Amino acid sequence: MSDLRTTPLHDRHVALGASFTDFGGWSMPVRHTSDLAEHHAVRQTAGLFDISHMAEFLVTGAGAAAFLDYALAGRIGAMKVGKAKYSLLLSDAGGVIDDVIVYRTGEDYFVVISNAGNRALVAEAFSERAARAPISAAFVAGSPDVPEFFGTVVGADAARIEDISDQVALIAVQGPRAREVLTATDGIDGLNPALADLGYYAWSAGTFQGASLFVARTGYTGEDGFELLVPNDAAPALWDALLAAGTPLGVVPAGLASRDTLRLEAGMPLHGHELSDQILPAQAGLGRAVAMDKDDFVGQGALAAASADLPVLVGLVSEGRRAGRAGYAVFADAEGGEPVGEITSGALSPTLGHPIAMAFVPSDLAAPGTELFIDVRGTRIPATVTALPFYRRNS
């Protein structure tokens, strides 16, 4: 793993005895203790995740909103300052290059967070779109300076897109006690709005030991929680402070293995599994993330012309302990016949106690209650189509 990138928290994970894996070119902790323990901690108390491998882009200028409306599928310009929005970066053919979260941190300031493995693709797409956007826009290389997360730009009708991924770290606190953890963390000051007043898919500005701190009430686990963006230099001390505050509450460091089973239970798509540049948003159940009535955005024409008779994403539940995994074939019959679909993600659900999976199948087999069969190492296991998500938190 010597050629892999490491996050500013790598030494903390080593000290905690974590096991590592190659994830998108990064050496990332897959677990610190056990997958099940970390999964259950997030569902019952909270887990602490290092997600500093994610990519961040700062989009600023009086034309920033117009540029993002053109570059992304969602209606970004209508967002209020202080809010966040899930959106999609589409290819000209309408496929999903990446799914992102956009935060409006000022009238002319936006932070866009994308998946680590797609950083280069997103940067390339933003750069290319800046060259052909209906407003003046320019993609620039990241500055070595710590970026300003918030502000208002006064100037010409133009946009500036900057990759700030190398300057910042991202830590997630996820679970029903996440807010208690942040409230008890020494060094976090001046959050505005206060955590108690922070709505879902909204953010708060503050400081940690004097460093700029961005706290968003977002996550990827199906639980309530927060994601904290800080300059790299402040990340180790913030991790230590969060862990010190959380340990008495039952909070544990968590890795990618539990993050994957948590997001699967919550029915959240993962790029490279449920999303790709060959999958249209509607196929993955993400039609709501596309504002087809916008004047113009990349991929709009292809989506308007797309066939309605395409495979769609469904949830599958089965009994026993044998779970379908990514790549396993799905059949309509217990014996014979050709595959009708393929598992994209699957696992034995730690929370629910039975196998769950997501798969693309023909639309005429997608109704909840439809019986299908998963080929698990040569044995066809009955599976029932169910509405996503598999799990919802109580509040």
Q: What is the pLDDT of residues 301-346, one digit of tens each?
A: 999 999 889 999 999 999 999 999 999 999 999 999 999 999 999 9
Domain that holds residue 181: 10-51+167-265
**Average pLDDT, whole number, for the chain?**
95
Q: Are residue 147 and residue 177 in the same domain, yes or no? A: no
Q: Are residue 193 and residue 204 in the same domain, yes or no? A: yes
Q: What is the pLDDT of residues 150-201, one digit of tens each?
A: 766 666 789 999 999 999 999 999 999 999 999 999 999 999 999 999 999 9
Question: Between the CA of residue 168 and those of 86, 171, 202, what are the distances in Å?
Answer: 21, 10, 19
Find the mean pLDDT for residues 16-34: 96
Indicate the burial class of 17 (C-beta count within 10 angstroms; 0-12, 13-18, 19 or more). exposed
Q: Are residue 37 and residue 172 in the same domain, yes or no? A: yes
Domain membership of residue 95 (yes or no) is yes
* Dist. CA 389–CA 272, nearest whole Å: 19
* Dist. CA 341–CA 336, nearest whole Å: 14
From 36, 84, 44, select the one nearest 260 (Cα to Cα): 36
- Note the Cα 114 to chain centre separation in Å: 7
Strand 252-254 to 47-50 pairing: parallel
Indicate the burial class of 322 (C-beta count within 10 angstroms; 0-12, 13-18, 19 or more). middle
Q: Are residue 140 and residue 229 in the same domain, yes or no? A: no
Find the mean pLDDT for residues 6-21: 98
Q: What is the pLDDT of residues 66-122, one digit of tens each?
A: 999 999 999 999 999 999 999 999 999 999 999 999 999 999 999 999 999 999 999
Q: How much of the chain exceeds pLDDT 90, in percent?
A: 93
Residue 1 pLDDT class (50, 70, 90 cuts): very low
* Dist. CA 158–CA 96, nearest whole Å: 26
Per DSSP, the residues of 278-297 read TS-GGGGT-GGG--TTSS--
Q: Are residue 320 and residue 256 in the same domain, yes or no? A: no
Q: Is residue 289 scored above 90 in pLDDT?
A: yes
Output the pLDDT for position 284: 98
Helices 64-71 and 119-132 pack at an angle, to 10 degrees, of 110
Count: domains in the chain:
3
Q: Are residue 126 and residue 66 in the same domain, yes or no? A: yes
Q: How much of the chain exceeds pLDDT 70, in percent?
A: 96
